[in-house]
């Protein structure tokens, strides 16, 4: 088992995958570690939908690509850099990704989650991606499907009171993909003691 801090440093957006399937046992490990995350009042308002069927992935990939074009591709102010190339590849090949995971969240009163209540799902999503990294699996948190949220929910039979917080493609990293090396602002730039 790699060192915890090594895993944090290694975890990053992986968007190119081998076609090899991911054993169900490993997917269940990811969900097990996701559910170790905190949630408001420990309500654990989550559910995780695992998608591997090709016809479902084809439909989701089509909607995801539409979202990609609407949000990113049609916005010339977005830089055409390495992140763009990587995200473009995923948008064009999502149907080939072995597993798509939808971490879903509900509120007991049936309302759409707010910014703060929605925060009860993202620690679980991050746990899931850290666990994936520890197992050598690539992952990336994505949101372009959300323009077709209702279509995705209908396709996957997700109940009305649940929302897909994000979608996490999972698979073994393709040749040339690598963990680690993500670029981040230095701590000195983002830390404030007592006052901003």
Ligand X SMILES: Cc1cc2nc3c(=O)[nH]c(=O)nc-3n(C[C@H](O)[C@H](O)[C@H](O)COP(=O)(O)O)c2cc1C
**How many CA atoms does the CB half-sphere of 27 hold within 13 Å?**
19
Site map (CB under 6 A) of ligand X, residues 21-60, x = contact: ----------------------------------------
13 belongs to the binding site for ligand X (CB under 6 A): yes
Q: Which is nearer to ligand X, 42 or 49 (CB)?
A: 49
Angle made by CA atoms 169, 51, 68, in degrees to the nearest 5: 45
| Nearest to 93, CA basis, from 154, 132, 135, 140 | 140
Q: Is residue 15 involved in binding ligand X (CB under 6 A)?
A: yes
Q: Which of 27, 37, 51, 90 binds ligand X (CB under 6 A)?
A: 90
Closest CB to ligand X among residues 183, 192: 183
Instruction: Decide: is 150 part of the binding site for ligand X (CB under 6 A).
Output: no
Stretch that binds ligand X, among 17-25, 38-46, 126-134, 137-145 (CB under 6 A): 137-145
Q: Which two tokens stand for residue 115?
A: 């910014």
- What does the alpha-carbon distance between residue 147 and residue 149 come to, in Å, rounded to a whole number? 6
Decide: is 140 part of the binding site for ligand X (CB under 6 A).
yes
Q: Does 144 bind ligand X (CB under 6 A)?
A: yes
Which window, 25-33, 107-115, 141-149, 153-161, contacts ligand X (CB under 6 A)? 141-149
Q: By the 8 A CB rule, do 42 and 153 touch?
A: no
Kindly state whether residue 17 participates in binding ligand X, applying the rule CB under 6 A: no
105 binds ligand X (CB under 6 A): no
Nearer to ligand X, 110 or 136 (CB): 136
Q: How far is the CB of 183 from ligand X (least distance, A)?
A: 6
Write out the residues near ligand X by the rule CB under 6 A: 12-13, 15, 83, 87, 90, 140-144, 182
């Amino acid at each position: 088992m790699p060192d915890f801090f090594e895993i944090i440093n290694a975890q990053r957006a992986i968007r190119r995958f081998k076609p090899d399937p991911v054993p169900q046992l490993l997917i269940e490990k990811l969900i097990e570690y996701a559910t170790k995350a905190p949630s408001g009042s420990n309500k654990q308002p989550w559910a995780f939908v695992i998608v591997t069927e090709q016809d479902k992935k084809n439909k989701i990939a089509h909607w995801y690509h539409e979202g990609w074009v609407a949000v990113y591709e049609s916005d010339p102010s977005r830089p055409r850099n390495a992140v763009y190339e990587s995200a473009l590849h995923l948008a064009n090949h999502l149907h080939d990704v072995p597993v798509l995971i939808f971490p879903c969240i509900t509120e007991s009163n049936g309302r759409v989650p707010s910014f703060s209540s929605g925060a009860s799902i993202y620690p679980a999503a991050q746990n899931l991606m850290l666990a994936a990294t520890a197992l050598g699996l690539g992952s990336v948190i994505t949101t372009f499907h959300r323009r077709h949220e209702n279509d995705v929910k209908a396709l996957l039979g997700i109940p009305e009171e649940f929302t897909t917080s994000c979608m996490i493609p999972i698979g073994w990293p393709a040749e040339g993909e690598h963990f680690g090396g993500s670029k981040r602002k230095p701590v000195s730039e983002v830390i404030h003691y007592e006052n901003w």
